[in-house]
A and B are shown apart, each in its own frame.
Chain A
């Protein structure tokens, strides 16, 4: 991967000056590169990785598997586009294997998510089956450990 993207993926808050040092470029070059990546749509946004429990966020999250009938001409795109219009839906991916679409859905309660699945998703034309799995605990997200401190076992100084 592009080294700039790699760095931004691990920490999007690095300043252009820091990125310039790390990549052996000037601040101006970094600013231009980032602007170009944003303009081209390569970079779609910047977000924070949050330990929801510590943030006292009581929302629930579920992974939902969908089996659907592809439409002629546009395959799965059409139904995926409809599904992603819902605010409750956080991610939508086309999958290989036993089912077709994988969604993550957020809601205030188990009931709210369950109702969303049964009333909105299952009822949608082309949806053959759904399976809902609630997330109980997140250990790692985007390469970052959510709970554990990375403890340095090395001694403080060694030759």
Chain B
């Protein structure tokens, strides 16, 4: 008898939408000479001192499990780092969990707080994982669309409109992938004001916190009364160019962290040991490497913003992450149409904005985690494309 897989597989998983960029990815993979601006990870190599530490650890240590919550020295360094960067104190023994990338931190944070039927507010456009995880946890994702006219920041009234008595959690992803938007202290203060009287928790995904341009990152945990209602997620992938090391962390008030670490313990046991040792070096010794990379990103960011605005793909000047999010309105195409045609005609891959939520329609995400030489070639191809498709009127 043939197996009826539909009956075997879980309803939730079957109903989950495949990632919007998959089809596009497959298409790009069939072509030669594609110049990609489609990647969400740094182009830099992990700084050598971090890699050297990992090599030494492999040579000298037994690579065994660590404490569930992570090496206590690493948690202490995370606490130091956060105190230095955002002036917020966490008890490294009870409030910090080292996770498998920021991704696991997001997963266990959502699973740890959502009951069946709870609503989770998700600020969009955003990274693709939040809604599916909420669905797996039995919750209901409720998107809050941000707008270009507000530089894709979350506004208090947009938040207030979506809050119901079922709202459990707000996912606040800033600096934002894909828009590059940031929230300043004043922007966050408005949001905090709405949340203070409620029992809503915040999942603040600050994975791009080191990548801000012109001003320092502000965490919502810095605001009065907010640390106690926030699960802070961060990691090593973006700041230290360590995506493949799979290491992140979450910080939460002790009663929350105590429960979340149980999930981590059952599904993961402990995060990769070699990566944890290497991450200690990242936090202690690599501030200059981070500065060097951010400086480089900034040069590329300015270059792309100017270039896109010049060719008619209007684009607000993003202050964070490593993406620009230009409008493609001038071509009259949908995001997916634009990306497919651009790929077919000029062999340049960018990601359709709607892959990050419906409110991303009409935009594309362009990553500048690429060398200037690469970016310049891509810009000249996109310019040619726009000349042909009605973007440039001169």
Contact = CB atoms under 8 A, between A and B. Distances in A.
A150 B372 CA distance: 13
Nearest to B305: A21
Interface of A: 3, 7, 10-11, 14, 18, 20-24, 150, 152, 154-159
Interface in B349-363: 349, 351, 355-356
A20 B371 CA distance: 17
A147 B303 CA distance: 28
Nearest to A25: B302
A3 B24 CA distance: 37
Given A10-B372, A156-B39, 16 more contacts: A18-B376, A20-B306, A22-B372, A23-B302, A24-B302, A152-B43, A154-B41, A155-B39, A156-B29, A156-B349, A157-B351, A158-B39, A159-B19, A159-B21, A159-B40, A159-B356
B303 A157 contact: no
A155 B306 CA distance: 27
Q: Interface centre among A10, A21, A156, A157, by most B CB within 10 Å?
A: A157
A8 B21 CA distance: 37
Contacts of B39: 154-158
Interface residues of B, number: 32
B21 A157 contact: yes
A8 to B, nearest CB: 12
A28 to B, nearest CB: 15
Q: Interface centre among B36, B41, B177, B349, by most A CB within 10 Å?
A: B36
B96 to A, nearest CB: 26
A56 B307 CA distance: 38
B295 A155 contact: no
18 contacts: A3-B295, A11-B373, A14-B372, A18-B376, A22-B299, A23-B302, A150-B371, A156-B29, A156-B38, A156-B349, A157-B21, A157-B24, A158-B21, A158-B38, A159-B127, A159-B128, A159-B351, A159-B355
Nearest to B127: A159
Interface in B288-307: 295, 299-300, 302-303, 306-307
Given A11-B372, A158-B38, A158-B40, A3 B25 contact: no
A144 to B, nearest CB: 11
Q: Interface centre among A3, A11, A23, A158, by most B CB within 10 Å?
A: A158
Nearest to B31: A156
Contact of A3 (B29, B36, B299, B371): B299
B336 to A, nearest CB: 13
Give the 9 A-B residue pairs with the shortest CB-CB distance, closest first: A157-B38, A21-B306, A22-B303, A156-B36, A157-B25, A159-B128, A21-B303, A22-B299, A154-B39
B191 to A, nearest CB: 25
A55 B349 CA distance: 33
Interface of B: 19, 21, 24-25, 28-29, 34, 36, 38-41, 43, 127-129, 177, 295, 299-300, 302-303, 306-307, 349, 351, 355-356, 371-373, 376
A11 B377 CA distance: 14
Contacts of A152: 36, 43
Contacts of A18: 303, 376
Nearest to B373: A11
A150 B373 CA distance: 12
Contacts of B24: 157
A147 B356 CA distance: 39
Contacts of B128: 159
A21 B307 contact: yes
B335 to A, nearest CB: 14
Contact of A22 (B19, B302, B349): B302
Contacts of A23: 299, 302
Nearest to B371: A150
A15 to B, nearest CB: 10
A102 to B, nearest CB: 25
Nearest to A157: B38
Nearest to A150: B371
Q: Interface centre among A152, A156, A158, A159, by most B CB within 10 Å?
A: A159
A24 B303 CA distance: 8
B303 A158 contact: no
A154 B29 CA distance: 13
B28 A157 contact: yes
A56 B251 CA distance: 59
Contact of B43 (A24, A154, A159): A154
A130 B355 CA distance: 66
Contacts of B300: 22
A34 to B, nearest CB: 16
A22 B333 CA distance: 29
Contacts of A11: 372-373
